[in-house]
Amino acid sequence: MSLFLLVVLLTSLYAVPGTSTSTHHPRPPTKHCTVKHNHDGSDDSANILHAFTACATDSFITFLPANYSAYTPITLAGLNNVVIHLNGNLLLPNNIEEVQQKINVSTNQPSTYATPWFYFHGSNVQLIGSAEFEWGRFYGFGNHWWDLGVRTLRPQLATFNITNGLMRNLKVIKPVAWGWNIPGTDLRVENHFVDAKPDNGTRWNTISFPFNTDGINISGHNVTVASYYGHNGDDCISIINGAQNVFATNGFCGFSSHGLSIGSLGSKGSFQTVQDVVFKNWTMDGAVYGARFKSWTGGAGFADNVTWEDIKLVNVSTAIFLTQNYFDQSLGPPPNVTSNSSTHISNFKYNNFYGGLNANWTDGTCITPVCWNFVEGGDATQSIIFDLYPGTALNISVGSIKVHPFEKPYTETTVICDPETLVPGEQATLGFNCTRGAYVRTPIGSSG
């Protein structure tokens, strides 16, 4: 074997199995650092920072099978060609005031709504949790926040802002709120686990409800999520502004998930985009929505080429929900919009949705006299709610839908859709009768 071939073979062992062929594979790491663990339970953050500084490049970083106290928000940046083995767990402080005070002064780069407790930045980084279920965990102790309804100064768990990265076998246990943000490029998330379910609450209890516990937010490019299992009280996967080329496959979303979501896009008239997204083979159990798209009233930008396919529904409130006219109804009437447009949508495909609906169209997140997700006429029988902005939705199609309302036959499922909002000719390719009433499947003809 030539030296060249040997090098190629060795190098390929360390290539991240992303969605695209990377042009550059790093050398195998040569350095090793083990993260020291304080046996008295005191803050290990300095130990973590120390290992990540000493081994920032061409390195393996190993956590021991132990509970590390990650009591201070940290930024782990400047990483290049690093394989992290999280054989232990990372625990946030089990004390609400301490977390609030520390996140309040953290200089970690914030996300849209919150500041992450852990911020990873760099290239060619693999973060690999233990294969054992008891390890590779991030403990947020969020259940105390949920029980008390504390929603101020909540941290987001983590941001993985990596070019060419892998996250595998990570477990998020009772996060305070939002989970992982993924703004990077060429990334793969595998076997992700989320437990954001209250141990003593139901989906229609506001008390102890895990508000804003989104599983994964993706704004990156070339991202694959393969195998996800979670219980939470907000989106399982949320694809937000900037995302392109995302595959999210083989997942389970339980408790009271808010769905496999795109958006919100176009807040305050902003130009925002999402393109080339596939959700395939998901089970939605107790979710408020199966598939969801949301853009703000008066928004700009576009979402193009999005597919939701092979979606099993168990007690889901609404199977397919799409609005281009979103506003926060809990704050009052719709804003006066002057832009006379909306975020354009095109080439959306929904196919093979099957299962049953919930008795309720909302959940414990409805905390105002008018629910945030109230829809006139919505009565938990809807498989499809399309709230389109006239003339800005092109080539939307809904294929096979076999969904029954709670304890009712399949024939009793309904839709809400206003034919006046359809682009001329769009009904011929829509796949169902756009009306307010019974769901009637129609053939999907050729467009144009």
Q: What CA–CA distance (Å, rounded) separates 441 from 351?
A: 12
- 360 binds ligand NAG, rule: CB under 6 A: yes
Distance CA 311, CA 319 (A): 9
Q: Pairing state of beta strands 436-438 and 414-417? A: antiparallel
Give the binding range for ligand NAG (CB under 6 A) out of 49-57, 212-220, 321-329, 391-399. Answer: 212-220
Please identify which residue in 49, 64, 273, 276 interacts with ligand NAG, judged by CB under 6 A.
276
What pairing do the DSSP bridges indicate for beta strands 393-398 and 318-326?
Answer: unpaired
Please choose, out of 28-36, 202-210, 367-375, 385-393, the segment that lies near ligand NAG by the rule CB under 6 A: 202-210
- In whole angstroms, the minimum distance from the beta carbon of 249 to ligand NAG comes to 7
The gap from C-alpha 78 to its chain's centroid, in whole angstroms, comes to: 26
Q: Does 354 bind ligand NAG (CB under 6 A)?
A: no
State the residue for tokens 């852990």: 118
Residues 45, 104: Cα–Cα separation, whole Å? 17
Task: Quickly count helices (H) and strands (E) in the chain.
Answer: 5, 26
Residue indicated by tokens 């006379």: 340
Residues 333-352 interacting with ligand NAG (rule: CB under 6 A): 336
**Residues 253, 272: contact at Cβ < 8 Å?**
no
Asked if 331 touches ligand NAG (CB under 6 A), the answer is no
Q: Does 95 bind ligand NAG (CB under 6 A)?
A: no
Tell me whether residue 118 or residue 178 sits nearer to ligand NAG (CB atom): 178
- Say how far apart CA 123 and CA 82 lie, in whole Å: 8
Binding mask 35-74 for ligand NAG (x = CB under 6 A): --------------------------------x-------
Of 23-31, 51-59, 154-162, 337-345, the segment contacting ligand NAG by CB under 6 A is 154-162
Q: Contacting ligand NAG (CB under 6 A), which of 84, 99, 114, 288?
A: 114
DSSP string, 257-305: ---EEEEEE-GGG-EEEEEEEEEEEEEEES-SEEEEEEEETT-EEEEEE
Contacting residues toward ligand NAG, per CB under 6 A: 20, 67, 89, 91, 100-101, 104, 109, 111-114, 121, 139, 147, 153, 156, 159, 161, 178, 181, 183, 185-186, 200-201, 204-205, 207-208, 212, 214, 217, 221-222, 235, 238, 240, 245, 250-252, 263-264, 276, 278, 281, 283, 305, 314-315, 336, 356, 359-360, 433, 435, 440, 442
